[in-house]
């Protein structure tokens, strides 16, 4: 097997992995935007913040929900970086890799730079004051909808790039 063929196989495997992970993250964020996030916001806005704190923080701890979600995020970030590197080495899908391959990097950058990560942690652990809770309520749905839309677009870009690459490779046979 030639080095070029070997790199193409790795590129394909990484493309498959990042496409699957991006699709999963898109689904997570769509679900959060449609149901779970709205429920959190409603609990806080309706004056039931104590119910949220008393139940969700316990749920997070016993279910390891954050661990599972974070594993997918970290896997997406690592695989996306590797796929992007291979795209630049092979001079394939460079624009798509910079956008979609690094989607978790872009989403994470906004999530942390906006201060939402700190606010979410404070709200979920019950340490948030009213100002932080209001910040959380005002950004929770719009931010997660924008992340869901971005991941969905990235998923579509990844699918299109995979189909284009497959069609291009098959046309040379």
**Which 3-state string (H, E, C) describes the chain?**
CCHHHHHHHHHHHHHHHHHHHHHHHHHHHHHHHHHHHHHHHHHHHCCCHHHHHHHHHHHHHHHCHHHHHHHHHHHHHHHHHHHHHHHHHHCCCHHHHHHHHCHHHHHHHHHHHCCHHHHHHHHHHCCCCHHHHHHHHHHHHHHHHHHHHHHHHHHHHHHHHHHHHHHHHHHCC
Q: Return the pLDDT at 171.
A: 67
Task: Decide if 171 is inside a domain.
Answer: no
Task: Decide if 4 is inside a domain.
Answer: no
Convert the pLDDT of each residue in 131-165 to its tens digit.
999 999 999 999 999 999 999 999 999 999 988 87
| Reported pTM | 0.90
Task: Decide if 38 is inside a domain.
Answer: yes
Domain total of the chain = 1
Convert the pLDDT of each residue in 16-31 to its tens digit.
999 999 999 999 999 9
pLDDT band at residue 65 using 50, 70 and 90 as cut-offs: confident
């Amino acid at each position: 097997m030639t080095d070029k063929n070997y790199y193409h196989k790795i590129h394909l495997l990484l493309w498959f992995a990042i496409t699957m992970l991006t699709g999963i993250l898109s689904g997570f964020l769509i679900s959060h935007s449609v149901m779970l996030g709205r429920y959190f916001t409603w609990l806080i806005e309706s004056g039931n913040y104590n119910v949220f704190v008393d139940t969700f923080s316990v749920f997070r701890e016993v279910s390891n929900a954050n661990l599972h979600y974070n594993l997918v995020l970290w896997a997406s970030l690592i695989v996306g970086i590797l796929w992007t590197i291979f795209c630049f080495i092979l001079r394939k899908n460079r624009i798509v890799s910079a956008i979609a391959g690094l989607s978790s990097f872009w989403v994470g950058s906004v999530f942390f730079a906006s201060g939402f990560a700190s606010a979410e942690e404070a709200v979920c652990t019950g340490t948030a004051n009213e100002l932080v809770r209001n910040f959380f309520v005002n950004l929770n749905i719009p931010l997660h909808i924008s992340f869901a839309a971005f991941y969905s677009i990235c998923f579509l870009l990844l699918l299109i790039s995979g189909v284009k690459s497959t069609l291009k490779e098959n046309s040379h046979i």
